[in-house]
Amino acid sequence: MRLILASASPRRQSLLRDAGYDFTIHPADIDEENYPSALSPPEIAEYLASAKAEHIAAQHPADVTLGSDTVVYLGTQLLGKPTGANHARHMLSTLSGSTHNVVTGIACYPSRFNISALVKSVPPPFKCADSPGRNRALHRRGPMAGKGRRLRHSG
């Protein structure tokens, strides 16, 4: 029996590796914009984590599959993966000086447990000002790849 991570997230891979787990990576190719509109942000994270784990578990029924999804939201606005450097700058400006929330949903198959209790309110860590250094960093590293969900209003 193998542990399968249903995610391409370098951060999730690092966490599992640092915890001493041996695992295989099989990212789930699901539509992350397809969830019931009545769900709260924590429920969205749990729903998507479960969908990812279930999708990969169906292909590997003898293994244990771990799915997860992180949602960042400010009020009712979900902040997702930026589509480019300009979008990343806009997102950083939106978060500047604001308290936002981060929730990660985790699902494991075949045991079928789902949790979304990892909610954290993040106080304003920075004031965002346009700077050549930040702009260079966005272009060099990419626009915060793997962070959150595309801009979308929930509800």
Question: Which one of the listed residues 18, 22, 69, 130 is annotated catalytic?
Answer: 69
Widest distance between CA atoms in the chain: 51
Number of Cβ atoms within 10 Å of the Cβ of 81: 18
Give, in order, the Cα–Cα distances in Å from 150 to each of 6, 26, 108, 130, 146: 20, 22, 24, 22, 11
Task: Check if 31 is active-site.
Answer: no
**Contact (CB, 8 A) for 70 and 103:** yes
Q: How remote is the C-alpha of 23 from its chain's centroid?
A: 19
**Catalytic sites, residue numbers:** 69
